[in-house]
A and B are shown apart, each in its own frame.
Chain A
């Protein structure tokens, strides 16, 4: 197998955000790690993030990686998002706000109720979305490129569709709040009269003071606006072909090929740009013995199929190595098959 050269590397361009996806077990974590490392070696600050609950990023790098950024090499940081920690933090703050409003005797009840949210469907995904969005938007400019190792495709797709839903949802709530605030202001301007002679504080003005100037409503707006900002920007980035790219990893076997086709269709429906395929674990050149030659024959058929179905899509092949890929050197070798020049 020839190393990737010139135009046969993946055209990742100067993108800031890369998603590496694929069926479980095809080696996407490896590819993600390799790509991030390559960027780092070329001088760009890279962050590789695992969103797969079955985290294997640490295994690939052969180090412990946790929920916080960890430097693994010059310019390279890694992180395994722990959505449960995210959920825990969120629920803790909600519990606190609720506790502020009820009697101590009720604290237990409050906690019980809030705990229910922990296990509700979508809680983990929502927390994951929040984290991913924050990282993508990267308001503090902590990295030049971020590579996401994503979960098996189904979850990823849901994750990708959430920003739009969330943005729409926050928009809706904000709209209602705005209309309500506008009417409050108008009512206050129109003013009321005193209900009794000599009573200057009209009932009306009183109500308005607690509404318009109320810190609670300012906080409501602020909370909603913050979320809106993050979701909105995340969504925009996702749809921006110059900013974001999706790379799919597969192996030349029946099920992965089928799944990859479905994934590409789905991603295109979401308008997420898929810029390349990485075919992993291709049998290396050279004589391999009768059993493996048989498999090579089958493999060739699949490779042809891949070429046919994904005509026009840049594809690279990574060979099957003699040993498990792990550690920086092995990853560099993999990277050589995936990327050629790394743009600045």
Chain B
């Protein structure tokens, strides 16, 4: 019973601002993706050699990211997420 109340309160606490925190997190993640995939959007990157190994780890989020960045289709030819 108490745990149900606790759950209710927790949801009451977080519901209106959940979005704000999630949005802030998403912005951080988007920036990270941009840094790693910067060559793709035409931004030269001194560390492009090293970002290469990070790229595969981010493929899962790639599709949503490129849509948010305004690219309708995946800029990676071989990775056809859409």
A residues at B contact (CB < 8 Å):
90-91, 93-94, 97-98, 100-102, 106, 109-110, 112-114, 117, 120, 122-123, 126-127, 165-166, 169, 172-173, 176-177, 179-180, 183-184, 186-187, 190-193, 204, 216-217, 219-220, 223-224, 227
Contact = CB atoms under 8 A, between A and B. Distances in A.
B70 interface: no
Interface string B53-73: 111111110000000000000
A212 to B, nearest CB: 11
Interface string B5-16: 001101101110
A126 B78 contact: no
A227 B79 CA distance: 27
B18 A204 contact: yes
Interface of B: 7-8, 10-11, 13-15, 18, 21-22, 24-25, 28-29, 31-32, 35-36, 46-50, 52-60, 76-80
Q: Which 6 pairs show the lowest CB-CB distances between chains A and B?
A: A109-B78, A193-B11, A183-B25, A190-B14, A97-B56, A126-B49
A90 B60 CA distance: 22
A193 B5 CA distance: 11
Nearest to B47: A169
Given A173-B35, A173-B54, A176-B35, 18 more contacts: A100-B56, A106-B80, A109-B77, A110-B78, A117-B49, A117-B52, A169-B50, A176-B29, A179-B25, A183-B24, A183-B25, A187-B21, A191-B7, A192-B14, A193-B7, A204-B18, A216-B57, A216-B60
Contacts of B59: 101
26 contacts: A93-B53, A94-B52, A98-B55, A101-B79, A106-B79, A109-B78, A122-B49, A126-B47, A126-B49, A169-B50, A180-B32, A183-B21, A183-B25, A183-B28, A187-B18, A187-B21, A187-B22, A190-B21, A191-B10, A193-B15, A216-B58, A219-B57, A220-B54, A223-B53, A223-B54, A227-B50
* Interface SS majority for chain B: helix
A101 B54 contact: no
A246 to B, nearest CB: 24
Given A180-B28, A192-B11, A165 B46 contact: yes
Nearest to B33: A176
A224 B77 CA distance: 26
Given A177-B32, A192-B14, A126 B50 contact: yes
Nearest to B29: A180
A183 B80 CA distance: 30
Contact of A190 (B13, B25, B49, B52): B13
A172 B35 contact: yes
A90 B7 CA distance: 48
A44 to B, nearest CB: 34
Contacts of B77: 109, 113
B29 A220 contact: no
Nearest to A101: B59
B58 to A, nearest CB: 8
B28 A179 contact: yes
A169 B79 CA distance: 26
Contact of B49 (A127, A187, A223): A127
A173 B8 CA distance: 37
B28 A190 contact: no
Given A94-B52, A113-B77, A122-B48, A220 B28 contact: no
Listed residue (A100, A169, A217) with the most chain B CB atoms within 10 angstroms of its CB:
A169
Listed residue (B35, B54, B58, B80) with the most chain A CB atoms within 10 angstroms of its CB:
B54
Contacts of A177: 32
Nearest to B12: A193
A94 B56 contact: yes
A223 B53 CA distance: 9
